[in-house]
Structure 1
Amino acid sequence: MLRWVGRAALALVVLGLLAAGVASWRFARYAPPDPAVAPDPRALAYFIDDYAPARQAFLAAGDALAPRFARVERFAIPVDGAPNLAVDGLYVPAQRAPRRLLVLSSGVHGVEGPAGGAVMRLFMDEFMTDALMADTGVLLLHALNPWGFAHQRRVTAHNVDLNRNASMHPALYQTQNAGYPLVDPLINPREQADPNAWGHRLFLLRSVAMIARHGMPVLRQAVLQGQYAEPRGIYYGGHAPEPQLTALAPRLTAVLEQYPLSMGIDLHTGYGARGRLHVFLNPPENRRVREGLEAVFSGQAIDWGGGRDFYTVTGDVAGWIGALRTSGAHLPAVFEYGTMDSQTTLGAVKSLHVGVLENQGAQHGYASPEAEARIRRDYREMFNPSSPAWRTQVIQDSRAMLGHVLARLPEVSVRP
């Protein structure tokens, strides 16, 4: 009898090891499928992977618009004292009656800049018509994090996640993320980055064990909320507003105050189902603002942050722009173009692992040139996929959603 019990236990151990091995093999080779769409050369032409030519393309598109409309304003906010790194703004006021303002922002996370810039140039080419501009002003903010765009990182030169850094109140930078110490050993390794190190080979199993102990919602919130205690850690929100936000705030306020209603769309990539445009809306306290957002996105699938995958973010740019208003109403929205199927557990853990390796390399160096090349490649692909099908889908979905928004926005009247 004991012999059979021993054999059964050994069989269970072997099966467990096989299952773990298969899971680790799948994790190492994880690649979500592309959308089933034929690549469109016209759509692909909007994507420019490097910061300098992307900036020049945005400026050139502005040059083409300027003669068509009156009172066009352009500005550049240099970042880190480098004139070749700047947040570029283009403001085209409503030509007759200033009834509403649309703000498009891109590159808050620098490495996401190519997709954001592509969507912005699509908007400039196809949507900025005489009919729209009669009573709608447009403010375009290109590459809010130009250093990150130029260096293909999410963060600024100070390792600050700009989407955890934006606030009108100093209290943000004293925020305590109570769950962060739970995940710190997993997400902030302090040796040179090596994907083949055992800690990384077992990253999936370590993550699953942590999920089993604390639950996925707790860990997701702890990781993604933002933290203000570890300057070299991921999702660091800084100790004060980054300089470009400080410089940009009065310019934004001056424009926002000219309109009784404004709407902001902040463009991001990464989270969600690959090839799908996710619309994220933080539930506003003002009931009329919520009704306004519901009216704008009527008939569209939107995420109000109430699902099992929900997590809150502190210091987000979309909310910060609205908070700059002293009167009137603002409708904040985030367009997120999914890349890694991160709404699934495997996709979420893989996305986290790619980010952990990239930050580890940036903070502590790489074990080899080969390790650096692999880590940086995986990181770029997570936020700026080279897939022609994915890029085509981004443009197609953006064209449809922006058309929907602009058709519905004139019907909205929101009083604060």
Structure 2
Amino acid sequence: MLRWLWRAVLALVVLGLVAAGVASWRFAGYAAADPAVAPDSQALAYFVDDYAGARAAFLADGDTLAQRFANAERFAIPVGSRQGTRELFVDGLYVPAQQSPKRLLILSSAVHGVEGPTGSAVTRLFMQEFMNDALLADTGVLLLHALNPWGFAEQRRFTENNVDLNRNAATTEALYQTQNAGYPVVDPLINPGGPADLGAWQHRLFLLRSVAQIARHGMPVLRQAVLQGQYEVPRGIYYGGKALEPQLAALAPRLATILEQYPLSMGIDLHTGYGARGQLHVFLNPPENPRVREGLEAVFAGQNIDWGSGADFYTVTGDVAGWIGALRKSGAHLPAVFEYGTMDSQATLGAVKSLHITVLENQGAQHGYASATDEARIKHDYREMFNPSSAAWRTKVIHDSRAMLGQVLAQLPQVSVGP
């Protein structure tokens, strides 16, 4: 009897090891499936992968619009770099309502720098296909290109100070005293020391370590702890900083002046990464004002809104979309985020893989890489997570953006958000 018991235990152990091995193998080679969309050369032409090229394309389209519409304003906020080898700017184009200023639409891109190519592409789609006499008769448009130009140029999510701009935006200092109670629980998992080494056991076993945390705390708790933002670990991921980053501080008074010219404004901040691959998620922090929520629901009527409080999503502190609205002294603001999913990260395997790629990239940025091969692989995976080279994915981004922007422009004039 004892012999059979030991054999059963041994069989269970072997099965467990096999299952763990298979899971780790699947995890190592994980890739979300592309959307079933035929590549469209006209859509793909909007994408420019490098910062300098994307900026040049934005400025060229801006020249055309500035010549066409009266009183257009252009500005460039320089962003310094300790490297001193690049010219980096937050570029803006403001075209006021040409007849009656009823509402303002703001598009912002590259808050997370490495996501810049998609944000720039969608911005130029909007410039070329939507900015016309009919729209601009009573709607002003403000385009903010590359809010994090250093991250765009260096293909990092964060600024040169390792600050996540979408956890940094605030009108008071209170944000930077915020404590993320869950972050210390996940800190050993997501902020390892030493050079990034794909062969290290901490990374080979990352899936199993993550599953253990999920089993103990639950996925929603861990997702919120990791992604909410934190203000105590400067070299850690999702660090929100200790003060407003310089480009946002320089931008704030200009934004406030423009906002006050309109009783209603709406901001769309363009992001990539989180969510189902090939899907445009309308991703919002739940607003405190119920009238603002009603306005957003009216603009996106018929669409699935991913409120950050949902089980598969999360809320953030210090987000740019909300910060822009907080700069208003009067009137109302509708904050929205377009999130173009890349990794199926609303599912467990995609979420853990996305986190692992982020952890490895930050470890390499902070502590170096174990080898040139490790560096090349990690940086490649990181770029693909936020700026997929897939022609099908890029085509769907443009097609979906065209449809969604069309709906926004059709519905926004119907919205009235009172006090």
* CA displacement at 1:190 relative to structure 2: 0.4
Amino acid at match of 2:56: Q
Among 333, 357, 362, the alignment partner of 2:360 is 357
1:397 aligns with 2:406: no
Q: Secondary structure at the residue paired with 1:91?
A: strand
Aligned to 1:145: 148
What SS class does the counterpart of residue 84 from structure 1 fall into? coil
Distance 2:121 2:314 in 1: 27
Matched, 1:96 2:135: no
Unaligned runs of 5+ in 1: none
Alignment of 1:43-58 (within 5 A): 43-58=43-58
Give the Å deviation of 1:307.
Answer: 2.1
1:368 to 360, 371, 387: 371
Alignment-derived partner of residue 5 in structure 1: 5
CA distance in 1, matches of 2:418, 2:179: 34
**1:242 matched to 2:245:** yes
Is 1:120–2:90 an aligned residue pair?
A: no
Aligned equivalents of 1:240 and 1:214: distance in 2?
A: 31
- Within 5 Å, which residues of 2 pair with 1:71-82? 71-80=71-80
User: Partners in 2 of 1:135 and 1:384 — Cα distance?
Assistant: 35
Whichever residue aligns with residue 160 of structure 1, its letter is: V
CA distance in 1, matches of 2:95, 2:248: 21
CA drift at 1:310: 2.9
Cα distance in 1 for partners of 2:313, 2:154 equals: 30
SS in 1 for 2:124: helix
Deviation at 1:415, TM superposition (A): 1.3
Distance (Å, rounded) in 1 between the aligned partners of 2:231 and 2:308: 23
**1:162 maps to which residue?**
165
Secondary structure at the aligned position of 1:195 is classed as coil
Amino acid at match of 2:38: A
Aligned to 2:214: 211
Aligned-partner residue type, residue 325 of structure 1: R
Q: Give 1:61 deviation, angstroms.
A: 0.4
The CA RMSD measured in Å over matched residues stands at 0.8
The CA deviation at 1:216 is 1.1
1:189 equivalent in alignment to 2:226: no
State how far apart, in whole Å, the 2-side matches of 1:158 and 1:326 are: 30
CA distance in structure 1 between the aligned counterparts of 2:314 and 2:292, rounded to whole angstroms: 21
> 2:295·2:334 contact (CA, 8 Å) conserved in 1?
yes
Match of 2:113 in 1: 110
Q: Is 2:290 the counterpart of 1:281?
A: no
- Shift of residue 282, structure 1, vs aligned partner: 1.9
Residue number in structure 1 paired with 2:26: 26
**Which of residues 254, 257, 264 in structure 2 aligns to 1:254?**
257
- The reply on whether 1:294 has 2:258 as its aligned counterpart is no
Counterpart secondary structure, 1:275: coil
Secondary structure of 2:87's counterpart equals: strand
Tell me which amino acid in the other structure corresponds to 1:42: Q
1:308 is aligned with what amino acid? A
> 2: distance between equivalents of 1:218 and 1:287?
26
Total equivalences in the alignment? 416
**Conservation of the 8 A alpha-carbon contact between 2:190 and 2:237:** yes
Asked if 1:171 is matched to 2:174, the reply is yes
TM (normalized to structure 1)? Answer: 0.99
2:318 to 315, 318, 330: 315
CA-CA distance at 1:288 after TM superposition: 1.4
Aligned counterpart, 2:275? 272
In structure 2, distance between residues paired with 1:104 and 1:266: 6
Q: 1:283: Cα distance to partner?
A: 1.8
What does 1:397-416 correspond to in 2, within 5 Å?
397-416=400-419
Question: Runs (4+) of structure 1 moved beyond 6 Å?
Answer: none
Report the Cα offset of residue 375 of structure 1: 0.3
How far off its partner does 1:221 sit? 1.1
Q: How far 1:294 sits from its partner (Å)?
A: 1.1
Q: Any residues of structure 2 matched to 1:212-227 within 5 Å, and which?
A: 212-227=215-230
3-state SS of 1:14 partner: helix
C-alpha distance after superposition, 1:262-298 (max 9, x if no partner): 0000000000000000001222121211111111111
Structure 2 letter corresponding to 1:60: A
Corresponding residue for 2:16?
A: 16
Per the normalisation by structure 2, the TM-score is 0.98
Q: Deviations over 1:1-39 (max 9, x none)?
A: 000000000000000000000000000000010000000
Cα distance, 1:215 vs. partner? Answer: 1.2
Separation in 2, partners of 1:191, 1:356 = 12
SS in 2 for 1:115: helix
Give the secondary-structure state (helix, strand or coil) at the position aligned to 1:337. Answer: strand
